[in-house]
Amino acid sequence: MLRGVLGKTFRLVGYTIQYGCIAHCAFEYVGGVVMCSGPSMEPTIQNSDIVFAENLSRHFYGIQRGDIVIAKSPSDPKSNICKRVIGLEGDKILTSSPSDFFKSHNYVPTGHVWLEGDNLQNSTDSRYYGPIPYGLIRGRIFFKIWPLSDFGFLRDSPNGHRFSDD
């Protein structure tokens, strides 16, 4: 009786470890489902939307301008941020607001990216803490699965003027 229970427990633990490892490999190297919170990416991603993120682009260094990425927050190691990539290394970023008379530019250093939320008025992003290293990027969001009314691939940035690099 005891041997049966012990055997069953070991089998359960073994399966848990095996599936846990498979889940880790899937989330780390392939992709996973993410729930976003916060208003900084409206209207593209609303609060408590569920999206699908893939990690293959990060490993193959295929992140491009205009991609929405999940990255580790530079000020808090345990939380993640979800923003759009405005500039890659070497790009010239317009840091002054469009209403300013004197325009100021910043160059994105090597190995870094410049992130901005779509909701420019309500987003703490690279305009606040500067460009972040590429190593902080965790994955690329490309598909929204909830709410069902907004099911599908994600739209382009509503702030198209931010991408000009002259």
Partner 1 sequence: MAQSQGWVRRYAKAFCKGFFVAVPVAVTFLDRVACVARVEGASMQPSLNPGGSQSSDVVLLNHWKVRNFEVQRGDIVSLVSPKNPEQKIIKRVIALEGDIVKTMGHKNRYVKVPRGHIWVEGDHHGHSFDSNSFGPLSPQCGTAQLLCPKDLDGIFVLVGLEMITAAI
**Would you please indicate which residues are annotated as catalytic (active-site) residues?**
40, 83
Nearer to partner 1, 135 or 158 (CB): 135
Q: Judge whether 162 and 151 are in contact, CB under 8 Å.
A: no
How far is CA 69 from each of CA 61, 101, 135, rounded to the nearest angstrom? 13, 32, 12
Nearer to partner 1, 118 or 131 (CB): 131
Closest separation in Å from C-beta 147 to partner 1: 31
Beta bridge partners of 72: 80
Q: Judge whether 11 and 5 are in contact, CB under 8 Å.
A: no
Q: What is the spatial distance between Cα 112 and Cα 165, in angstroms, rounded to a whole number?
A: 16
Tell me whether strands 68-72 and 152-153 are parallel, antiparallel or unpaired.
Answer: unpaired
Site residues for partner 1 per CB under 8 A: 17-18, 20-22, 24-25, 28-29, 61, 72-78, 109-112, 132-136
Under DSSP, the state recorded for 99 is T
Nearer to partner 1, 21 or 50 (CB): 21
